[in-house]
Structure 1
Amino acid sequence: MQELESAPTLPPKGHVRTSQAALFEPSTPILSASELGLSEAEWYWGSATREKIDDLMKDTPDGTFLVRDASSKVGEYTLTLRKGGCNKLVKICRNRQGRYGFSEPYRFNSIPELVQFYRSESLGEYNPMLNVKLLYPVSRLQHTEEVEASNSDDLGKMRKQLESAHLEYLNRSRQYNLYRDDYSRCSQEIQFKKQASDAFDVAVLMFEEQLLLHDKFQREAHRHEIYCLKENYELLKSQMSKLKQSRQELQENLRGQAVLSRNLDREMNVLKPELNQLCKTRDLLQTKFLSTVLVYIQQHPSSVHADSQHWLLPDCSRSTAESLLAGKADGTFLIRRSAGAPFALTIACHGVEKGVGHILIYRSERGFGFTEPYLLFQTLNDLVVYYAGHSLEELNPKMNTTLAYPLHG
């Protein structure tokens, strides 16, 4: 007779559900380790629409990627990869054993494991048309921070974020320019050394031909000619040996230059998407800051400040401006043309030397301003109206005043 299995141990009475409805209560799903890792991955965008993905991937370099839920079937995923300036959609498959891959055999225990593998290996082994690695993840976390920053109504906080983003962009740009300059010099040196190497090859070939001729002449020469031919032969051999040694040193140096060139190229390629992202962040914050400025200008109309005839003296010199503002109340100002920039602000302020200060006003394709990244004002009038209500202290700690009184107001 078959032996029966022992009955399972009963749970403690305190754990017995007395309600019939409780038997049908849904339990909270427990994420597997691989699913938990996926949800925390910066490159995983969940159920983001294809339109949003296209916008995120726009103008990104080859190798940029992200993963999202497949729109066709629940539980499947799609890798979006930039290649050849276009977005390539690659289905991530899963077999019954829970392993992932692009095609059989599926060898990855999770999608993060798959992504990590192809960060260092080309997808060319899966599809020769996709001969690129997963180089640049589109970060969902960074995007969220940018959106939060763009939605902030705190002007002071926004200014700090904008300045920080601009400073980081400048630092990265300088680093990229250094790499680019070094790469350019390295490329020129490689070109020159390749030409020198080719010249060495020609010279060595000529010496080898001469040695063959000397060998032939020695066999055919008279006895009294052999000694001189041998001397010349040994001299040619010595010179050719030196040539080969120099060529070898040049080739070793050339290999070192080639390694340096590849490293510099790789560093530039790493920085490019980062620069692009920093530029997008800065532009986003600039746009938000500008919209806040425009709202302020609309809410604070001032016929005196908005009319340039009260404060614009285009032909006024620096010394004349100082004379006109000497002894005036703090915040009395005018704007004039300048040699160092399109315009300059001259303002009475007891906190600066002589009681009169000067700030250059620059102009970019976006507008006027005192310094980057604030060259945003479409007209000088907008700049004046804005700083009529905001202190110049943020530009110069000694100028604790606003553009309070136009000279001819």
Structure 2
Amino acid sequence: MYISCVPRGQPGITFITSNIAPDSPTSLKQAEWYWGAITRENANTLMRDKQGGTFLVRDASTGNNEYTLTLRKEGSNKLIKICHKNGMYGFTEPYNFNSVVELIEFCRQQSLSQFHKSLDIRLLHPVSRFANGEEKEFSKMDIEDLKSQCFELDRKFADVYDEYDKCLKKQLNYSAQLERGQTALECFNETLTWMGDHLKLHEKFINEAQPHEIKKLWRNREHLILRRNWVESAMLEHKESLENLLQDFRAVERECSRLLNDVTLLDKSRGKLRNLLALKLRGVFIDFDIAEINLQEDGPSLWLNEQCTREDAVKLLTSKPDGTFLIRKSSRGPYALSIVFNKEVQHCLIHKSKGYGFAEPFLIHSTLMDLVSHYSLNSLEVHNDCLTTTLKYPALKYLNRPLT
């Protein structure tokens, strides 16, 4: 949703459009923050996890020599249209800036609150399209080389994700063993408490017993003490075993945390690489032959229907090819995925915490678009052994024509 800026000329606001830093770019092509004809989704990927005041500018989807400023504020992206009329630029009429560069440089020095009261922030951190390091090397590659790198990153991501999945299962197994071990330890303690109480009672019986009963009571007491000693020894062995198990659990827990971080970083790297490829093609996203979703063309409107019920989804998806899918609202969670596989409509609950995903701790996708993008390249079988498919065909795209 775009922010509508208030008209200029408010009392107390003075616009100085000539105070531009000497090292400012002289044209859009020279501006590091100008990303050209990238999509809104690609811009969101570039802005993901950035600090407040981070910004970039892209061509507006409306054309007409207009642009869109994407600004990070309070954990979300604000979209502000840059308009153009009679050779001048601005957020609202009258437009007083001679160029987009002049407008952006002004907003780097002055707060945007003068345009909209909720935008009490300056443009502080440009997202530079002048990549460095590995991205700089990628930017020099041709289309086929970039495709190859995408395939390689996808393969590496799948390998690390599989390793993480195995590590997580081991962690869950250790956790279950620790829970059983803690229960056993509580049983040992309860048994020793019972034996202690019984020995006190036994001592009372000895003091009150007849002379001919004392010898037999002492033998029983010695037998009970031996049993108590055996339980204490067994409990010490169990404690030692439990401590070793706890150390193994913590080691696996650290490994899971490391792998999850690798998974997250690889997923971000894939997003950056796709953006570079999109820029190479002037904003058109490449179909890698391993997914039928075109992220440039197939936006959420072609697979997201918040009014659709489970029954509606079944009717819509019945008789569609495997991999046809949509996302809808769910009564059990934020959203649900409905997808065709083996000629049947399957349903998967989508959870939301810090991100979207199908199960903890895989809730790492910041938007539904990111989730769809990921599973258009990676099989759902990591969550369900019976769903060996990717997200292939957005169902709403084909409402008016048959799939082949």
Query: Does 1 or 2 have the higher relative contact order (CA < 8 Å, sep 6+)?
Result: 2
Same fold (TM over 0.5): no
TM-score by length of 1: 0.39
TM-score by length of 2: 0.40
Which of 1 and 2 has greater Rg?
1
Q: Which has the higher helix share?
A: 1
